[in-house]
Amino acid sequence: MNNIVLANIFRFLGLILLQGLVFKNVGEGWKEFPYLFVIIYPLAIMLLPLRTPRVLTIVLGFVAGLMVDGFYTSPGIHASAAVFMAFCRPFVLKALEPRNGYNVNYSPTAARWGIRWFLQYAAIMLTLYLLFYFSVEAFTFVYLGSILLKTVVSLITSMIFIVIYQVIFNPVD
């Protein structure tokens, strides 16, 4: 296996373990403010190389979501949201494509396309994930205000941790 495949496997497993073992417990201590969730494992799907086939991206989203569902004991909610985000990934990348296009050999990281581009990309992808996740979790739009509040609060806190991840690990490949 080449270095890019190994790096993505380690990133994939590391982010899932970090999500399940560390960030799962972040919101549980705030019973009076039940809107705080830190979700960073979708970064494993976001940072896949651009040449990754769409079907493989969706399958990896499903696998990642099922693994996180195992930590959260939620029957398929993370898996469905991760599959939805993986399905939307090519459309978001197309909408944010620079004038000179992408080099498909690289991953969409802040180091490659700049922090501004990456923040837009990560925010759109994570918003799609969180809106879908909280909508499926509530399973009704009666709680639309709660869904939107959870999405906004979780987006802000998750983006802080995603930026920290980008600064610390600076994935270039």
Note the pLDDT tens digit of each residue in 29-73. 566 666 788 899 999 999 998 888 999 999 999 999 999 999 988
User: Domain containing 153: what range?
Assistant: 3-169
Under DSSP, is residue 16 helix (H, G, I), strand (E, B) or coil?
A: helix
Note the pLDDT tens digit of each residue in 140-149. 777 888 889 9
- The highest-confidence range among 7-11, 84-88, 166-170, by mean pLDDT, is 84-88
The two tokens of residue 10 are: 């380690």
Please tell me the distance from the alpha carbon of residue 80 to that of residue 131, in angstroms, as a whole number.
12
CA distances to 42, 54, 81, 161 from 62, rounded to whole Å, are: 11, 12, 9, 22
State the residue for tokens 């620079």: 98
Q: Number of folded domains in the chain?
A: 1
Q: H/E element holding 95?
A: helix 77-95
Q: Is the distance from CB of 81 to CB of 102 less than 8 angstroms?
A: no
